[in-house]
Structure 1
Amino acid sequence: MKVQEIRELIKLVDQSSIEEFVFESEGSKVEMKKSSGVTYSLAPQTAAVQEPVQAVPVQAVPATTEENPIVQEAPVPEAPKSAAADENLHKITSPMVGTFYQSPSPDADPYVKPGARVSADTVVCIVEAMKLFNEIEAEVNGEIVEILVKDGQLVEYGQPLFSVKPQ
């Protein structure tokens, strides 16, 4: 089953009143279930890897007193510079649930690195789903700014994989 066929199935199930859909063909199985949050999954299901949350230091603000009527303001932590720049970046997202690979084989060089120039049809990674290796293309001409997932990481449908500065 091709990626585009899976995408079309997802759209059709999403637009219908069907709550659960299972499709089996030639040893492949696609299973989709709707919930109140409308989540799609491909069998076999895998647990998502969650990145650790980074703590932001907070400084205490002294209370005002009669001896010290001036209140000092706690410094506001700066937002990461990538958050402001993200508005202008294109995100290459995963078209399916699977395992992300940066290179065609473990001993090969990655398809792309930050700073690499890509065209819309440049292969940037592979997502393995149901023992099928699906090449993911850049979809846009530009420069790879950041790789958002680690090699071998499980990815979800629609999860951003790369940030690209369009050109």
Structure 2
Amino acid sequence: MSATNLAGRILKVNHAGEHGAVSIYSGQIFMARFTARFLLPELLTFKADEEKHRAAFYNELQRRGLKRCKSYWLCAVGGYALGIGTGLLGANAISLTTIAVERTVLRHLRHQTELLVEDADAVSAISSILNEEQEHHDVAKNRSRPPGVFGRMLSSAISGTTEAVIWLGMRL
């Protein structure tokens, strides 16, 4: 795959992933009204950040004349289901979800900036969201309780699913 094609594919997957993140927070916000009301301001802020990130990648796709990733709606539906499910489980599950997703995403984003070093626009789009993604991770980590067996299983499942969706998106 050429560097230009790789950058386009990565940007498409990142755009779909940000759409998935918006959907996760949407589901969690819906459920947190019943299970963790005190988290609503934070979740609303995180969702707004993810909407900005999605727009940044969309703008770069538009500039390059690229369509969105075929996994876009998969990320939306899967993200919303994950948000509803973890929101139903309460505040710690919401935090563990954010930690697991952001840890995986941050690793990928940092690797992408190394892979795409010759594509300044792609690196700029990716770099523009790193600080907020790190902040989401850190805020959730500081708020969460140490995970028990269930929490570790939940975190592993979410990290693995996030990796699988990224892998699939790169191949669709």
The answer to whether TM tops 0.5 is no
Higher relative contact order (CA 8 A, sep 6+): 2
Structure with larger Rg: 1
TM-score (norm 2): 0.22
Structure richer in helix, relative to its length: 2
TM-score (norm 1): 0.23
Structure richer in strand, relative to its length: 1
